[in-house]
A = this chain, B = another copy of it.
Amino acid sequence: MHAIEGAGARTGPPGLRERKKRRTRDTLIRCALELFALQGYERTTVDAIAEAADVSPRTFFRYFAGKEEVAFALQDSVESSFCAALRERPAAESPLAALRGAVLTSWDKLGEDVGSIVPLELHMRTYRMIESTPALLAVHLRRLSEVEERLAHEIARREGLDLAADPRPRVLLAAFGGVMRVTGRIWGEQGGAGMTELRRIITAHLDQLGPALAENWRT
């Protein structure tokens, strides 16, 4: 099998081979993100990343499908933790309230998954880099739309609805995802703001979802 594989259920000690692979992968991620932050995404070649991680360029492509993928390696953790947080929301909450709660709590536990591989500050720098690099922003938006689809399924499940018949879950996630995108963009634009500021922007924008759809804005 290849370098990426799901950890089987009956794995006692990971074994030397597994540990080495994991270490190589983490090293590649760290070297890549550091180089990206240092000299930008486009001006960092795969050869440079491979050299910094002390592997051949060919090996890089055995761990990541492309240069883009390594930039999003940590976003994977963030997204799956968001999905997990939604599943754990109490069933009594309304769909929108559940989403709102999930995003706020998942931000809190973010440091645990990410911090073990890369300093948190570097991760946030990477996020701003994604937002400001056209090629990466495009991929980011596509990934977000995939997350939206997963979340729409979860909302439909919570409410006992059929996604094919009822458009509300997808419409809700379209609106919610849109707010998340705008939030991320505004947050990224204002330099090195921290988590607290991000929570403030998110809640403020979510609160405006209803008013924005109202007929008359002059009240």
Q: Is A170 an interface residue (CB 8 A)?
A: yes
Q: A167-B208, A181-B145 are in contact. Are A213 and B139 (CB under 8 A)?
A: no
CA distance A173 to B179 in the complex (A): 9
- How big is the A interface, by class? 35 or more
The answer to whether B145 and A141 touch across the interface, beta carbons within 8 angstroms, is: yes
The answer to whether B94 and A215 touch across the interface, beta carbons within 8 angstroms, is: yes
Q: Is A210 an interface residue (CB 8 A)?
A: yes
CA distance A96 to B211 in the complex (A): 11
Pick from B97, B137, B167, B179: contact of A174, CB under 8 Å: B179
The answer to whether B182 and A170 touch across the interface, beta carbons within 8 angstroms, is: yes
Chain B nearest CB from A90 CB (Å) reads 14
CA distance A28 to B205 in the complex (A): 44
Q: Is A168 an interface residue (CB 8 A)?
A: yes
The answer to whether B175 and A208 touch across the interface, beta carbons within 8 angstroms, is: no
The answer to whether B94 and A168 touch across the interface, beta carbons within 8 angstroms, is: no
Pick from B159, B204, B209, B215: contact of A213, CB under 8 Å: B209
A95 (CB) vs chain B CBs: closest residue: B217
Chain B nearest CB from A164 CB (Å) reads 10
Pick from B148, B161, B175: contact of A175, CB under 8 Å: B175
The answer to whether B182 and A174 touch across the interface, beta carbons within 8 angstroms, is: yes
A97 (CB) vs chain B CBs: closest residue: B215
A residues sitting closer than 8 Å to B (CB atoms) are 94-97, 134, 137-139, 141-142, 145, 148, 159, 161, 167-179, 181-182, 204-205, 208-218
